[in-house]
Structure 1
């Protein structure tokens, strides 16, 4: 297990180096959206197995939510890279919006 810590910039650069070695390059946005949806579905299946009412069949391969989240991050990063979107900037804008919009929505801890 690798204990490295990656920034979003590191992640985007590593994915870009990987994809850059292939002539095909990044898939189209539509294909990446389909792949992201597929990976989210696989994550949902794992959540349902471990936290829901649907246990795994004895014949099913062992997967983990960590593995599926990693797959989601990879495809999401491919999506961002293919459109030249900086994930750090996207995340910052989202958090600013959420911190402003929802600042009084939940019960604060004392």
Structure 2
């Protein structure tokens, strides 16, 4: 599935099952909540915390939930994620063409 197809699929799902999009502010709060859920799983799986009884290492599920809400926000604001991601690659490549290669902290 391409990003464009994902944006279209989320939009169709919202129109079919979701009644309407939540407000942008509500979706921003939902995004924050989903990022927190991913942080919890990462802290338990890769950090020093342990899982509580019944918790799972569902990193992929949490990332997908974040993407869902990001796509909702993009659709609501008329943002073409593919186009914006391409611009971001161009910006980062131009800005960081040597930055990371020359960073002694990143040397093996």
TM-score range, shorter chain: 0.7 to 0.9
Q: Which runs of 5+ in 1 are unaligned?
A: 1-5
**3-state SS, counterpart of residue 21 of structure 1:** helix
Larger fraction in helix: 2
1:52 — aligned with what?
47
Count residues in correspondence. 103
Query: How far is 1:95 from its partner?
Result: 1.1
Give the TM-score of the pair, scaled to structure 1.
0.86
2:59 — aligned with what?
65
Q: Which runs of 5+ in 2 are unaligned?
A: none
2:91 — aligned with what?
97
Query: How far is 1:61 from its partner?
Result: 2.6
Tell me, yes or no, if the aligned pair for 2:45 and 2:57 is still in contact at 8 Å. Answer: no
Structure 1 outlier segments of 4+, above 6 Å: none
Query: How far is 1:21 from its partner?
Result: 1.6
Give the TM-score of the pair, scaled to structure 2.
0.87
